Every structure is written in structure tokens, then in C-alpha cells.
Amino acid sequence: MRIVNPAVVTALCLATLACAGHAADRLTGREFAMRSPVIAPHGMVASAHPLASQIGIDILKAGGNAIDAAIAVNAALGLMEPTGCGIGGDLFAIVWDAGEARLYGLNASGRAPAAWTLAELRQRGHTTMPEYGALAVTVPGAVDGWFTLHERFGSLPMAQLLAPAIRYAQVGHPLPPVIAYYWARAVARYEEYPEWRETFAPGGSVPGVGEIFRNPDLAATYEKIAQGGRDAFYRGEIAESIVAAVQKYGGALSLEDLATHTSTWVEPVSTRYRGHEVWELPPNTQGVAALQILNLIEPYDLASMGHNSADYLHLLIEMKKIAYEDRARSYADPDFVDIPLERLISKEYSEERRKLFDPDRAASRIAAGDLQLRAGDTTYLTVVDAERNAISLIQSNYAGFGSGVVPKGRGFCLQNRGSLFNLDAAHANAYAPRKRPFHTIIPAFVTRDGRPVFSFGVMGGAMQPQGHVQVLCNLIDFGMNVQEAGDAARFRHSGSSQPTGEVMQDGGTLHLESGIAAEVVRELARRGHRITHRLGGYGGYQGIWIDHERGVLLGGTESRKDGVAIGY
């Protein structure tokens, strides 16, 4: 019998009741929301853990800017939410620089080891990449991402930004319900890794809700980084322990792989949706999928369909399928393949692809477009400061704690992002030495009339582009506020073709939250959707809306997670 954390069930049931709708609350903007948006004039932080959000506010009050606060929050989350993030993983960010009135994009994802080729992996008997273990480890990019952001935008010393996380790692912090639930689920997955158990299940048991967890090893690691900079992580003792851990379990990561790692500044890409410019990062992320879906649905009058009606959901699900077939085929490291990015996000291409949509029937198979190619667990946070600098930042180990490989005595787990490589040599996302794998994590940003208006993200693997589109439709098409937009019931479609090589079978599976009406579910089933209801898997949203006219910030964090938005 499967035991589910009661606190999680309670929260999800309450969310379901809220999503059912309360017409009397519509005037207060709470028809779909568990609580009101947080409103503040100066600065705001929204993250997946209340203590981490408070740390970000403390940094802002101490004179730091949004980027300073984001680094401090991310460091704290690496300690407090190791079920989804940490310095063994990668990072992506979109930054609005208020002084320059422009966006910057940062790709801080790591590369595959240089030592092995795809042919060698195939010779070892692999037809797909292992999901866990040392072969799935790629260079962790988060720490270099912190320092790359800090070098360009930071105002407070890095030691000051890491100090709160170091202190909590030393004295301990209590676990909130959702993080504790996923922590407990991880034990069986990583039981073959003694270093993981020593770090995250000391004494043979995991911490429960409200129990204090300490991680002195991570405190010591953070102290070395604070004192020695990014080189303290990518060279020297920490790097040596990372390499030793990976090689112990049969991987090929080397000291040179770590020492030569760099992050990359990239230009965010956008599409225009009902007067708003929606921004994502280009591949190797999947952010372009959200832009493609928005292009596909833009000609339709969603408001007249009704929120979460059968027509509305069918449209979004089918357009998601169309975009994800291109995602499966062509999203990869642009240093290795020529990606037709402009065509992918063009209105003309969306017109061609929209012809595949059948309003009366769910598609069981969809072909990828002719692009003339030549070739799940995360944390999201956002911060806006008093000057209206803003950062949309996402950071991940990929699956839960990641690979399971923990460098001895360092307090963190290495990511398993390499499991997303394809072992078909002809595929755009094929494994290659020093290549970055396809990435699911995507920060997002919205501008209007040249000004920043919305910094947001929806963590959760392949759910993320689907979540981005649903949140934006809630805000733009249905007039919800920043809290309602995240709390409203969502769908998740799984089973589309994947960059790793899997092909969509029988149209995939449609997962629906129970806040969606029974008559809608019946109509979707009639149209051919294979439907299941499940408690989780619908992502985790944070967002900050910038109201320039009133001079205030409005923040939302959804009730499916532990997080909060805090302003001052």
C-alpha cells in the first residue's frame, strides 16, 4: 500500500476546492486562488522555501540588488531543497537590467565529459543513457553561473551572499511538508550510494516534517567557495573530490572537464502574444516550445471558450503535441547543430503547423516539421528590487537529488542531466564529448511596451512549457491575478516524443487536476484523450508582476508547493 504524506494530500485537496471556483470572491480576485497576491512597493522575492525567500529580502534590505538576492536564495535552496536543486546541478537565468533597460540571458549548463564518445558508450552496451549513476553526470554549472551573474551585476561581496546559507547549514533548518515528502521518496532510489545516505539520510533515516536537518559538509563547501571564488569549486580539493566520486562509480568526468567549464551569455528569444513580448532562452533549453505553443493558439479567442472548458483544454493539449514533436527532433546544443531558431518561432511556421490541429479529435501521432536540420525536479525563483532590476532564475539537479553520486564530505549531489542525451548518432541531441545535453529547465520573462512586467517560471521537467502557457493564458486571456494564475487547476500531457529518442504512442496521456469539471473530462475523453487523475506532477510556479502605474510589485506562489512570496 502506498503511503502519501497527509500534509501534501491536505494541501492538494484544499487547492482542488479553491479551483472549483467561488463566484462571490471574483471581485476580490480569488475565484481560483488559495490566498491573495503579496503586494509591496520596494522589492520582492518568490521562491520554493519560506526561509530562502526571507534570506532574499534580508539581502535586498542590506543594500543588495535583485541578482545578489537571487544568488543568496539559490544557495539557501541548495541546502533546504536538495530534492530539486544544488551546486551539483545547472542554472539558467534571464535578467532585466534597469539601468540599460534590456534583457540578458545566461546559460550556465554543463557539458559532457571529454573522455568518452558516443561509440564508446554503445560499445559498453548502452542503447540509451542511464537515468542515474556516474554516466549521467555532466559538469555542474550552477557555481560558475553564480559568479558569472555576480561579476556583471552583483553589488555585495559573495561571502555576504553565501553567509545565510552557511549559517543554516551549520545550525540546521526544519523541513516543510512538500520537500519532506519528496525527500522520503528518494531513499529507495539512492540506497546503493553510501555517500548519499551519509549526507541526506544520516543514521539511516531521513528528516521528517518539522525536523531539523544540518549539513556541515555543505557549510564547509560554501565557505571554501566564498573565500576562494569559482575556482575553489572547479579546481583544487572540491574538484578532486567530484572527479573521485564520479570515477568511483564508473564515470569519466575529469579535472580538465571542470577546469575548462564556462557559462555562456545568450540572447533571449521572444514571440509577441496579445500585445506582450514573451521571452525564453534558446536551446539547449526547451523554452522555445512555450513560444511555439503561444504562436499556435494566438488566433483563437480563448476567453470566449471559457477557462478550462473542453474546447480550451483540447486546443492547448493538441498544440502542445505539435510543438513537442519539434522539441523532440531539433532542440539541442547550438554549438553542435544548426538549429533553425527563427523559423521555429516564426508566425509563418506556426500557420503551417496549425493545419495539423483537429478540433474534434485528439491526435495519436504527429510528424515533426520540415526544419531542414543539418546535423522533472527543479527549483525556480524570481526577485525584483526597488530599482526594478529583475531576475528569473531556474536551477536543477534534474531528477530529484540527481545522479545519486555525492562527492565525499562535500554535502551535495551531482546532477543526472546527461541522462537526457540521445544515443542515436544522427539525432541533434546525440551524445558527444563536451556537448551540453537538451535541458528541461526554463526561466521566463514578459515585457510590454519596452518595460518589464512579469518575471515567472513553472518548475517541473516536461511540464514547464505547458505550465508557462497555462499561466500566461490565465493572466492575459482570462484576467486572473498573479496568484490565481498559478493556483488555477492545470493539465499536464505526457508521452510526446522525446529528445532522448522515445516516440509518442497512442496520443500520450492527459493528466488532469480534479478542479476541472466532470463534464469537461467526459468531453475530452469523447474526443479521444486518454485521461488520468493524479495528485502531483503539475509543476511549481512563482511569479512577480510589476505594476508600473501604481508603483507596486505583486507576487504569487502556488499552493502546490512550500514556497512563499515576500515583499517589503
Please identify every residue annotated as catalytic: 378
Q: What value, to the nearest 5°, has the Cα angle with vertex 421 and ends 420 and 427?
A: 130
- Find, among 133, 128, 93, the residue nearest to 498 by Cα: 128
Phi, psi of 103 (to 5 degrees): -100, 145
Q: Which residue has the cell 530534492?
A: 83
CB 51 within 8 A of CB 568: no
CB 131 within 8 A of CB 399: yes
Q: How many residues does the chain have?
A: 568
Distance CA 351, CA 345 (A): 11
Cell matching residue 369 = 516539421
Q: Which residue has the cell 503547423?
A: 353
Q: What value, to the nearest 5°, has the Cα angle with vertex 555 and ends 551 and 559?
A: 165
- Find, among 188, 187, 219, the residue nearest to 202 by Cα: 187
| Angle of helix 237-248 versus helix 216-228 axis, rounded to 10 | 130
Encode 183-236 in three state secondary structure. HHHHCCCCCCCHHHHHHHCHHHCCCCECCEECCHHHHHHHHHHHHHCCHHHHCC
Distance CA 78, CA 98 (A): 28
Cell matching residue 64 = 543588495
Q: Which residue has the cell 518548475?
A: 459
Residue 245: helix, strand or coil by DSSP?
A: helix
Query: What pairs with residue 105 in β-bridges?
Result: 94, 266
Distance CA 345, CA 335 (A): 19
Phi-psi bin for 113: left (phi > 0), alpha (psi -120 to 50), beta? Answer: beta
Q: Which residue has the cell 576562494?
A: 228
Distance CA 246, CA 248 (A): 5
DSSP symbols for 110-123:
----SS--HHHHHH
CB 221 within 8 A of CB 241: no
Q: Which residue has the cell 555543505?
A: 218
Q: Which residue has the cell 520573462?
A: 445
CB 152 within 8 A of CB 66: no
